[in-house]
Amino acid sequence: MSKDDSQVLTDPQRVDSILTLLEKTYPDAHCELNFSSPFELLIATMLSAQATDKKVNQVTEKLFLKYKTPEDFLTLTLSAMENAIKELGLYHNKAKNILSTCRILVEDYGSEVPDEMDALTQLPGVGRKTANVVLSNAFNVPALAVDTHVLRVSNRLGLASGTNPDMIEKQLKSLIPRSQWSQAHHWLIWHGRRICAARNPKCQVCPLTALCPSSSIPIRMPN
């Protein structure tokens, strides 16, 4: 990509074209973690680190039948918590953080999940990505979570540059209208899972080929 190309990547018309195509391609894009309350979404998102949503849903389907509130989870010992989620990666740390978070929710928040970024990121095991997912999907607060899919796709499309999720989030928010932050997060994730895979992206069938500087097909910038 030439220096001139890099200057074009943040052009508002180009960004709008990308968002329009993503919306057209994934009109039903949504959070693929199953939940019925902000608390369940918080737990599911904490469990999703280095695990697929499909696997997390399999674990939480059984878990949420018995344990629906922070108080319910606090009836579990650490060993029992680990055993309940041992099918997922990093289950030792996840179990410890979940129980610590539940204790804080009960003691400091009346068993409710807070709806503010600063409060959420003070919870054990909750970073900006998890907080953004909860804010967006549980509380309808405009937010843009950056996971591995969002990071990869936004870099490939030239919407962002780098490997730091917090910096990627800032770059994307500076380009994407606030009203589209939450949906753009889903669009980018769905695109990463369905077409723009980490290995062997399906450039031949990608609707964004003409706008993508990383495509295996020669880029054709619009006039």
* Catalytic machinery residues: 129, 147
> Taken in order 151, 121, 47, 140, is the CA torsion positive or negative?
negative
- Spell out the alpha helix ranges (H) of 74-127: 78-85, 91-108, 117-121
Radius of gyration of the chain (CA): 19
Q: How many CB atoms lie within 10 A of CB 112?
A: 14
Q: Which helix (H) or strand (E) holds 137?
A: helix 128-139
Report how far residue 22's alpha carbon sits from residue 154's, in angstroms, rounded to the nearest whole number. Answer: 12
Quick check: helix, strand or coil at residue 156? helix
CA dihedral 122, 119, 115, 177 (to 10 degrees): -90
The three-state secondary structure class of 18 is: helix
Cα dihedral value 113, 118, 121, 127, nearest 10? 120
Q: Are 149 and 187 in contact (CB under 8 A)?
A: no
